[in-house]
Chain A
C-alpha cells in the first residue's frame, strides 16, 4: 500500500531530456495510467519510480519517504515488463518464486504463495515448464504472477499487453483491472493505447515530448481536453481538428461554417469536434463535403468526409452507405465543440 509523489522530477542524459517537470501525486490504491506516443518519456518516468533510473532533478516519495538514492531492490515495487523479462533458464515456478527467494521468505511459505499467485492469474498447469515453450498469453500471466506473488506496495506495468493479439489483450485487460481492484495495490500502468488507458485508469496522465499534458479521470480527459494534443489523442477515432478562422462569432473553414459562441474578435482557431458529435443531416448543416471513404465496423459505420482539404471523421449508423464523392452534409452537436489556439494548441473554449 503506497502513495507515490513525484515533485519537479526531471531526467536528462547529457543534452537529451527524457522527461521534465513531472509533478504527480498518486493516491494509495489508485490505478494511474501514463498515456502518450512512443518516446514521450513514459518508461523513463516509471523506471525512476522503480529505482532503475535516478532522477536528474526533483524528488520521488513513497508514503512520504524520500526514495532518491534508494536502490531498486530496496523499494517495495514489482514491475511487469513489456517483453515479460521471464528468466529463460528457470521454470515458471522458479520464476514466480524468485522474488520470494531473494527476500528470504521461508521455503514452505514460498511454495504456497507461488501456487496462490499462479492460481490468481489462472496459470495452474504450466508451472514446471520453461518460459520458452509458453504462448505469449501464458508468459504474460507468468510475469503478472511474479509481480503479485510478494504482495508489493506498488505495481509498475510497462506496456504489459502490447505483445499480445487484440483478443487476448482485451481479456488480459479485464484480468488486470479485476486483480488490481481485488489486491488494492497502487498501480502505475504505461501504455500508448488510449482504449487501454480509458478502460483501466482511475486517472490518466497524458504525456508528450517528456512533459505531462493533462492529468484527469478518463471522463474529464474525454470531456475536457486541455489542449489539442490531448483532444487528438483520446477517442477512437480521435477528435477531428480543423483549422479555420473565427470572425463575428462564426467559425469558417472550407466547406464548414458553425457558430462559435462566446469567442470574441477575429482570429485563427482550430475547431475540435468528435466523430460521435457529428450527425448526418439533410438540412441546417455545418459542413458540406464529399464522401471520401466508408468503413463499416459492424455496430457503426465510420464515414470520412472531405471538406476543402480537411478529412473529417463521422460516426454514422451501421446501415449508412453512399457512393464515393457523393455530396454529404453534417450537423455538429453545438454543445460539444472545442476551440484551440492553432499555435500553442491550448484550449480557448
Chain B
C-alpha cells in the first residue's frame, strides 16, 4: 500500500517536473523580453554577459513620452474590438443558418466561408489596398476593423456553428411550439446557450487581430492608424538605430492582455481550437 502511494506521488512529481520545464521553456523568451525592456539601452548591446542587470525605466518613459504609444494602443483596441463586434454580428446569424436550415448549396456556402481562410493573405493584399484607397479609408482604423473582421469571419463562423450543432434540436422545437419566432429563438435560446462558444470565438479572433501585421502595415501609413504590432517596426529604423529595449517592452505590453484573457478562458479554448474535430 505504502509503496503504491509513494510511486504515485513520484510519478506526480515527475509530471510536474516535465510540465514545469516545458513552461519555463515557453515562458523564458517572455521573461527575457521583460528583462530587456527594463534595462538601460547601453547594457543590452554590450557583448559581455551581465549577471546583475541594472533596473531602468528608460524604455518605459520613452515609449509613452517620445512616441504616441497611447494612440497606438487606442487604435489597436478600437480596431480589434470593432472587428470582433462585426464578426459576431455577422457570424452568429450565418452560423445559425448553416447549422439549422436546409437549403440548396448550404454546404457549399459553408465551405466557401471556410476557404477564405485557406489562401495566402498576400494574394489579396494589392486588391485590398486599392479597394480601401478608392473608398478613402486608407490609414483609418475603420479599414483595420474591416480587414480584421474579414480575416476572422470564417473562423468565428465555424466555431459558433460547431457549438450550435451541439444544441439539441428539441430545444428549438420547444421554443417554436411555445410561440417564439426564429429571431427570438436565436436571441433568447441559442445565444445564451452557446455563450461560452461565442466568447471563445471572440477571443480567438482577438488574438489573430492583435497579431495581424501584413494588412495593418499596408493600410496604416501614419500614427493615425498605427497599431501596436506595426508600431514595433518603428523602433527598428531611423537615426536612433534599433531600440531593443523599447521593442521588447512594447511586445510585452501587447502580450499581457492576450495572456490574461487566454488564462481566463482556457477551459473553453481547447474546445474552440479543436472545433470541427468532432462535428464537421
Interface residues of A (CB under 8 A from B): 47, 50-52, 71-73, 75, 77-79, 81-83, 85, 87-90, 98-99, 102-103, 146, 156
What are 18 A-B contacts defined by CB distance under 8 Å? A50-B173, A72-B173, A72-B177, A73-B176, A73-B180, A73-B181, A79-B173, A81-B170, A81-B174, A85-B168, A85-B171, A85-B173, A87-B188, A87-B189, A88-B192, A89-B189, A98-B180, A99-B178
Q: Tell me which residues from 218 to 261 in chain B have a Cβ below 8 Å from any Cβ of chain A.
A: none
Q: Which residues of B contact A98 (CB under 8 A)?
A: 175, 178, 180, 188
Chain B residue total in the interface (Cβ 8 A): 18
- Distance between Cα atoms of A188 and B125 in the complex (Å): 61
Contact of A73 among B171, B177, B188, B195 (CB under 8 A): B177
Q: Tell me which residues from 179 to 197 in chain B have a Cβ below 8 Å from any Cβ of chain A.
A: 179-181, 184, 188-189, 192-193, 195
- Distance between Cα atoms of A78 and B170 in the complex (Å): 13
Contact A79 B168 (CB under 8 A): no
Q: How many A-B residue pairs have CB under 8 A?
A: 64
- Distance between Cα atoms of A95 and B170 in the complex (Å): 14
- Distance between Cα atoms of A50 and B180 in the complex (Å): 14
- Distance between Cα atoms of A322 and B179 in the complex (Å): 61
Closest to B178 in A: A99
- Distance between Cα atoms of A78 and B177 in the complex (Å): 6
Q: Which residues of B contact A50 (CB under 8 A)?
A: 173, 177
Contact A52 B177 (CB under 8 A): yes
Q: Which residues of A contact B184 (CB under 8 A)?
A: 102
Return the 3 tightest CB-CB contacts between A and B, nearest first.
A102-B179, A89-B192, A85-B174
Contact A83 B178 (CB under 8 A): no
Nearest chain B CB to A185 CB, angstrom units: 14
- Distance between Cα atoms of A77 and B176 in the complex (Å): 10
Q: Which residues of B contact A156 (CB under 8 A)?
A: 177
- Distance between Cα atoms of A83 and B192 in the complex (Å): 19
Q: Which residues of A contact B193 (CB under 8 A)?
A: 87-89
- Distance between Cα atoms of A99 and B180 in the complex (Å): 8
Contact B168 A102 (CB under 8 A): no
Closest to A74 in B: B179
- Distance between Cα atoms of A82 and B171 in the complex (Å): 11
Mask of B42-76 contacts with A, CB within 8 angstroms, 1/0: 00000000000000000000000000000000000
- Distance between Cα atoms of A77 and B177 in the complex (Å): 7
Closest to B195 in A: A89
Q: Which residues of A contact B177 (CB under 8 A)?
A: 50-52, 72-73, 75, 77-79, 156
Most chain B beta-carbon neighbours within 10 Å: one of A85, A87, A90: A85
- Distance between Cα atoms of A267 and B170 in the complex (Å): 50
Q: Which residues of B contact A72 (CB under 8 A)?
A: 173, 176-177
Interface of B is mostly: helix
Contact B170 A85 (CB under 8 A): yes
Q: Which residues of B contact A90 (CB under 8 A)?
A: 192
Nearest chain B CB to A108 CB, angstrom units: 19
Q: Tell me which residues from 91 to 144 in chain B have a Cβ below 8 Å from any Cβ of chain A.
A: none
Nearest chain A CB to B279 CB, angstrom units: 18
Nearest chain A CB to B10 CB, angstrom units: 39
Q: Which residues of B contact A89 (CB under 8 A)?
A: 189, 192-193, 195
Q: Beyond the given A87-B171, A89-B189, could you list 20 further A-B residue pairs with CB under 8 A, ordered by the A residue number? A: A47-B173, A51-B177, A52-B176, A52-B177, A72-B173, A73-B178, A73-B181, A75-B177, A78-B177, A81-B174, A85-B170, A85-B173, A87-B188, A87-B189, A88-B193, A89-B195, A98-B180, A98-B188, A99-B179, A156-B177
Contact B175 A81 (CB under 8 A): no
Most chain A beta-carbon neighbours within 10 Å: one of B178, B180, B195: B178
Q: Which residues of B contact A85 (CB under 8 A)?
A: 168, 170-171, 173-174
Contact of B179 among A47, A83, A103 (CB under 8 A): A103
A102 and B178 in contact, given A85-B168, A87-B189 (Cβ under 8 angstroms): yes
Q: Which residues of A contact B171 (CB under 8 A)?
A: 85, 87-88
Closest to A82 in B: B170
- Distance between Cα atoms of A85 and B167 in the complex (Å): 10
Q: Which residues of A contact B178 (CB under 8 A)?
A: 73, 78, 98-99, 102, 146
Q: Which residues of B contact A103 (CB under 8 A)?
A: 179
Closest to B194 in A: A89
Closest to B192 in A: A89
Closest to A103 in B: B179
Mask of B157-172 contacts with A, CB within 8 angstroms, 1/0: 0000000000010110
Closest to B191 in A: A89
- Distance between Cα atoms of A191 and B99 in the complex (Å): 29
Q: Which residues of B contact A73 (CB under 8 A)?
A: 176-181
A52 and B179 in contact, given A83-B168, A88-B193, A102-B184 (Cβ under 8 angstroms): no
- Distance between Cα atoms of A83 and B193 in the complex (Å): 16
Nearest chain A CB to B184 CB, angstrom units: 7
Nearest chain A CB to B83 CB, angstrom units: 27
- Distance between Cα atoms of A75 and B181 in the complex (Å): 13
- Distance between Cα atoms of A156 and B178 in the complex (Å): 12
Nearest chain A CB to B38 CB, angstrom units: 46
- Distance between Cα atoms of A75 and B173 in the complex (Å): 13
- Distance between Cα atoms of A102 and B177 in the complex (Å): 10
- Distance between Cα atoms of A47 and B170 in the complex (Å): 11
- Distance between Cα atoms of A88 and B172 in the complex (Å): 12
A81 and B173 in contact, given A87-B189, A88-B193, A102-B184 (Cβ under 8 angstroms): yes
- Distance between Cα atoms of A72 and B173 in the complex (Å): 9
Nearest chain A CB to B190 CB, angstrom units: 10
- Distance between Cα atoms of A90 and B174 in the complex (Å): 14
